[in-house]
Chain A
Amino acid sequence: MKIRFGRNGLLVTILFLAFFLRIFFYFSNLPKYVNGTKLRITTRVLSEAIIYSTSQYLKLMGYKLYLPLYPRIYYGDKVIIEGIVEDQIIKSAKLISIDEKRGILYQYRQKIISFFERSLPKSHAALVAGITIGSKSGIGEELWNKLKNSGTAHVVVASGMNVSLVASFLISILILFLPRRKASIFALIGIWIYAVVSGFDAPIVRATIMGSTSLLAVETGRIYKSLRVLVITGLFLLFVKPEWIGDLGFWLTTFATGSIIVFYRRVKKLFKFVPKIINEDWSTTVSAQIGVVPLLYYFFGQFNLLSPVINVAVLWTVVPITIIGMVGGIVGTIFEPLGRIILYLCYPLTSWFLAVVNFVG
Chain B
Amino acid sequence: MSKRWKIFFVLLVLATVTVWLSVFSTSSGGLKVISCNIGQGDASLIIYKNFEILIDGGPNNKVLDCLSTYMPFWDREIEVVMITHPQADHYTGIISVLDNYKVDKILANALNSSNQSYQLLKNKTLLMGIDVINPVRGTSIRSNLIQLDILYPTESFLAENYRQLTAGNDSGEVSSASSGSLGAFESKLDPNEFSIISLLRFGSFKFLFTGDASVKILDDLATTMSESGDNSINYIKIPHHGSKSALSERFYGAIKIGVASISVGKNSYGHPRPEILDLLKKHNIQVFRTDELGDIVFETDGNSIWTDN
Contact = CB atoms under 8 A, between A and B. Distances in A.
A348 interface: yes
Given A53-B61, A123-B68, A117 B99 contact: yes
B73 A71 contact: no
A54 B99 contact: no
Interface string B44-65: 0000000000000001111011
B126 interface: no
Nearest to A68: B117
A4 B225 CA distance: 90
B10 A347 contact: no
A351 B59 CA distance: 28
A70 interface: yes
Contact of A69 (B10, B61, B73, B100): B61
B14 interface: yes
A345 B18 CA distance: 6
Contact of A117 (B65, B73, B100, B120): B100
Contacts of A118: 76, 99-101
Interface residues of A, number: 27
Contacts of A351: 21
Contacts of B96: 69
Contacts of B120: 70-71
B157 interface: no
Interface in A111-144: 114, 117-124, 140, 142
Nearest to B64: A122
A237 to B, nearest CB: 34
B117 A70 contact: yes
A159 to B, nearest CB: 24
Contacts of A114: 99
B99 A344 contact: no
Interface in B1-53: 10-11, 14-15, 17-18, 21, 39
A348 B117 contact: no
B117 A53 contact: no
Nearest to A349: B14
Interface in A330-361: 344-349, 351
B92 A69 contact: yes
A11 B239 CA distance: 75
A147 interface: no
Contacts of B14: 320, 324, 345-346, 348-349
A345 B62 CA distance: 26
B73 A54 contact: no
Majority SS at the chain B contact face? helix
B116 A71 contact: yes
A51 interface: yes
A319 to B, nearest CB: 11
A195 to B, nearest CB: 27
Nearest to B101: A118
Contacts of B65: 122-123, 140, 142
Nearest to B69: A121
B68 A122 contact: yes
Nearest to B11: A345
Interface in A30-70: 51, 53-54, 68-70
A216 B47 CA distance: 57
Contacts of A71: 116, 120
Contacts of B18: 344-345, 347-348
A123 B69 CA distance: 10
Contacts of A117: 99-100
Contacts of B95: 69-70
Contacts of B116: 70-71
Contacts of A347: 18, 21, 73
A320 B9 CA distance: 13
Contacts of B17: 348
Nearest to A125: B100
Contacts of A345: 11, 14-15, 18
Contacts of B62: 53
Nearest to A70: B117
Contacts of A140: 65
A69 B76 contact: no
B61 A121 contact: no
Nearest to A140: B65
B112 to A, nearest CB: 17
Contacts of B11: 345
Given A70-B116, A347-B21, A347-B73, A54 B60 contact: yes
B273 to A, nearest CB: 24
Contacts of A344: 18, 74
Given A119-B76, A122-B65, A345-B11, A69 B99 contact: no
A348 B101 contact: no
A124 B73 contact: yes
25 contacts: A53-B60, A54-B39, A69-B60, A69-B96, A71-B116, A114-B99, A117-B100, A118-B99, A118-B101, A121-B67, A121-B71, A122-B65, A122-B100, A123-B65, A124-B68, A124-B73, A324-B14, A344-B18, A345-B11, A345-B14, A346-B14, A347-B18, A347-B73, A348-B17, A351-B21
Interface of A: 51, 53-54, 68-71, 114, 117-124, 140, 142, 320, 324, 344-349, 351
